[in-house]
Amino acid sequence: MPFTRVVIILVAISIVGAIAIPFGDPQFLGRAIALELSFITLAVLTYKGFRKALYACIPLAIIVMVGNSLASPHVEIMTTFSKPFNAIMLIIGGYVLQGALIGTTVFQLESRRQDIIQKQKKN
């Protein structure tokens, strides 16, 4: 079971989240932990080869990106850099890594699709 790019991105998102959670609003602690546990779960399932877990990565990444964009405190932090560490964590974890997750997931799904097509042609 190799560490695919998707697994590496999921682990990176979990690490950034684990670092950022203590600096966030305490009233959202439960939601933040649940979100991070979902990324950890996806990382484990993807690592173990459960292909269907890949299909959850794209909507989850989109939800995170849209949620960050709609949360006015997040937008304010990212645009003003009033809390520089929080802004960097939000930008990296909420946009850069989420975009990377979408891209690597699409690439891995397409790659597996091509493998299946090649196997069918041989038979």
Nearest of 38, 53, 37 to residue 4 by alpha carbon: 53
Residues whose CB falls within 8 Å of the CB of residue 17, separated by 6 or more in sequence, listed in order? 32, 35, 36, 39, 93
Q: Does the pLDDT value for residue 117 go beyond 90?
A: no
Q: What is the pLDDT of residue 1?
A: 63
Q: What is the predicted pLDDT for the residue at 24?
A: 87
Which SS3 state, helix, strand or coil, does residue 103 take? helix
Tokens coding 53:
């877990």
pLDDT for 54-95, tens place per residue? Answer: 999 999 999 999 999 999 999 999 999 999 999 999 999 999
DSSP for 42-59, written as a single string: HHHHHHTT-GGGHHHHHH
Helices (H), 48-96: 54-70, 72-80, 84-91
Q: In this structure, are residues 20 and 56 in contact, taking their beta carbons and an 8 Å threshold? A: no
In the chain, where are the structural domains located? 5-122
Find out whether 95 and 65 touch, Cβ atoms under 8 Å: yes
